[in-house]
Amino acid sequence: MPRYLSLVKIDEADAPAEGPSPELMQRMGELIEEITKAGVMLDTAGLTPSAQGARVHWEGGKISVTDGPFTESKEVVGGYALMQCKDMAEALEWTKRFLKVHEEFWTVTCEVREIAEG
């Protein structure tokens, strides 16, 4: 079965400073448990804020490293989910359910892509 990577993108400027609410974390935990029991979830995690990260760039034969936060970006990757699904439609259904556990004030985008095998 194909594997899919869902990149969770958030606008850090709009996210609550205190992070996700306990209620959101509970709903998310319940959904992750369901996805895992269904044999779909292979791995998932949230990422630390971009201020604690760095970007490594290769251009013109030279490497540059930029420390976070990445102010030129509106959205940053806030987490990921690695899923094994029968097709893209199933991966999208699970991703929609993940987005719907968030409160309405969150702005979250997931980019879902099939992993190229072989």
Cα separation of 95 and 6, whole Å? 7
pLDDT of res. 35: 97
pTM for the model stands at: 0.88
Confidence of residue 3 (pLDDT cuts 50, 70, 90): very high
Could you read off the pLDDT of 13-56 as tens digits, one per residue? 888 888 899 999 999 999 999 999 999 999 999 999 889 999 99
Question: What is the tens place of the pLDDT at every residue in 58-109?
Answer: 999 999 999 988 777 788 899 999 999 999 999 999 999 999 999 988 999 9
